[in-house]
Structure 1
Amino acid sequence: MTPYILILYYSRQGATLAMAQQIARGVEQAGNIEARLRTVPAVSPVTEATEPSVPATGAIYCSESDLKNCAGLILGSPTRFGNMAAPMKYFLDGTSSNWVNGDLINKPAAVFTSTSTLHGGQESTLLSMMLPLMHHGMLITGIPYSESALSSTRTGGSPYGASHFAGGETSPVLSGEEMSLCQALGKRVANIALKLGVA
């Protein structure tokens, strides 16, 4: 089986999905490794509501096998009050069997986010998403300043991970710098996985 980087995201308006797709392009630029995009189900405030195990439309939900067998993980969520969205947190809270088995130890990981306001908590969200990955024993990687777009961006972008400033619009259109940084992040994680021999 071809090794893959799991790009696991939650998206409501499409911006986080657009980022995930650019990150996947970066992963596949590394060669000899694939990008696997997966999402998580929404969380309903109605306790009786349930989601089907296989979605009727849209992206495929992440399985335990997807997570266990990945060569690396790139995690993305829109910002909710400076933190990851509840569906992503709910999914991560259910990964205890992966933690007990050490499935993710020594694999590279990275994070990405989207906000509707410029100072809407991008960096705190990125940092909050890193915490469960550290508990899983993953090797956290960001974006180095050797990526020139990191110094020139006037929209999203951070050394902590890729980010997108949506400007309060529902349009998932990414700026040139944001696309460049998403691709750089994907390629970096893929290259690290290949160098570590986990791919």
Structure 2
Amino acid sequence: MTPPYILVLYYSRNGATAEMARHIARGIELQGLEARLRTVPAVSTECEAVSASVPAEGAPYASLDDLKNCAGLALGSPTRFGNMAAPMKYFLDGTSNLWLTGSLVGKPAGVFTSTASLHGGQESTLLSMLLPLLHHGMLIAGLPYSESALVETRGGGTPYGASHHAGADGKRALDEHEVALCRALGQRLASIALKLGDTRD
């Protein structure tokens, strides 16, 4: 039997969302669970999706089995006009069978995003990612204000999930508060999964 894991599923174009995913994974591991990093292929108007099973670099592409068998989910995307990016939406649109079988019901989930501007739609993007997770019956885990970084941040960070202000060129590094909130989200998801007993054999 595969050991329990939290799936950290993300799409990243310029690297900021991928960096957030790695910090979330570290938070999960600090709680003693495996973090499984996965990404999704880009989509274009000329073809439906890139179908290679392993990208040239970075995390492998996610399968529906990665999602089905997880003990919890951290879902991340950069913002696109206040919404999740098309590749992530495309992947989620293909999860109807998991919805029909109730495979994700009762599992904890959280979301994260990165934006070019400080007020570039972080919260609406996070909310857009929560909608399909609610339809799947997942239990939403945000970030409580007991996390001091949420009160102190001058960059990203919301109660809806972790966020990052990457700057217009996408090169601004995560600051200490953004890193702390990513790790806190990972720890929170792992802790909830353990409490729910979704890590049973």
Fold conserved between structures, TM > 0.5? yes
User: Aligned partner of 2:102: which letter?
Assistant: G
User: Aligned partner of 1:132: which letter?
Assistant: P
User: Aligned partner of 1:94: which letter?
Assistant: G
Runs of 4+ deviating beyond 6 Å? none
With over 3 angstroms needed to count, the CA separation of the structure-2 counterparts of 1:178 and 1:50, relative to structure 1, is closer
Q: Distance in 2 between matches of 1:102 and 1:19?
A: 29
Identity of aligned residues (%): 70
Question: What is the deviation of 1:167?
Answer: 1.6
Query: Secondary structure in 1 aligned to 2:43?
Result: coil
Whether the 8 Å contact between 1:18 and 1:172 is mirrored in structure 2 is no
What residue is the counterpart of 1:186 in the other structure?
186
Whether the 8 Å contact between 2:78 and 2:84 is mirrored in structure 1 is yes
What residue is the counterpart of 2:45 in the other structure?
45
Query: Secondary structure in 2 aligned to 1:154?
Result: coil
Whether the 8 Å contact between 1:42 and 1:87 is mirrored in structure 2 is yes
What residue is the counterpart of 2:85 in the other structure?
85
| Deviates further, 48-57 or 175-184 | 48-57
With over 3 angstroms needed to count, the CA separation of the structure-2 counterparts of 1:92 and 1:172, relative to structure 1, is farther
Q: Distance in 2 between matches of 1:72 and 1:184?
A: 15
Q: Distance in 2 between matches of 1:144 and 1:188?
A: 10
Whether the 8 Å contact between 2:53 and 2:60 is mirrored in structure 1 is no
Deviations 1:1-33 (A, max 9, x none): 2210000000000000000000000001111x1
Does 1:5 find its partner at 2:6? yes
Does 1:14 find its partner at 2:15? yes
What residue is the counterpart of 1:117 in the other structure?
117
TM-score scaled by length of structure 2: 0.95
Question: What is the deviation of 1:97?
Answer: 0.8
Question: What is the deviation of 1:93?
Answer: 0.1
Q: Distance in 2 between matches of 1:59 and 1:4?
A: 15
Gaps of 5+ in 2: none
TM alignment of 1:60-75, pairs within 5 A: 60-75=60-75
Query: Secondary structure in 1 aligned to 2:155?
Result: coil
Whether the 8 Å contact between 2:107 and 2:138 is mirrored in structure 1 is yes
With over 3 angstroms needed to count, the CA separation of the structure-2 counterparts of 1:150 and 1:49, relative to structure 1, is closer
| Deviates further, 43-52 or 127-136 | 43-52
RMSD over aligned CA atoms reads 1.2
In the alignment of these two chains, the number of paired residues is 198
Does 1:161 find its partner at 2:161? yes
What residue is the counterpart of 2:25 in the other structure?
24
Gaps of 5+ in 1: none
With over 3 angstroms needed to count, the CA separation of the structure-2 counterparts of 1:48 and 1:182, relative to structure 1, is closer
TM alignment of 1:98-177, pairs within 5 A: 98-171=98-171, 173-177=173-177
Deviations 1:101-130 (A, max 9, x none): 111000000000000001100000000100
With over 3 angstroms needed to count, the CA separation of the structure-2 counterparts of 1:144 and 1:55, relative to structure 1, is same
Q: Distance in 2 between matches of 1:96 and 1:115?
A: 29
User: Aligned partner of 1:115: which letter?
Assistant: T
Whether the 8 Å contact between 1:39 and 1:60 is mirrored in structure 2 is yes
Q: Distance in 2 between matches of 1:24 and 1:182?
A: 9
Question: What is the deviation of 1:172?
Answer: 5.5
Question: What is the deviation of 1:64?
Answer: 1.3
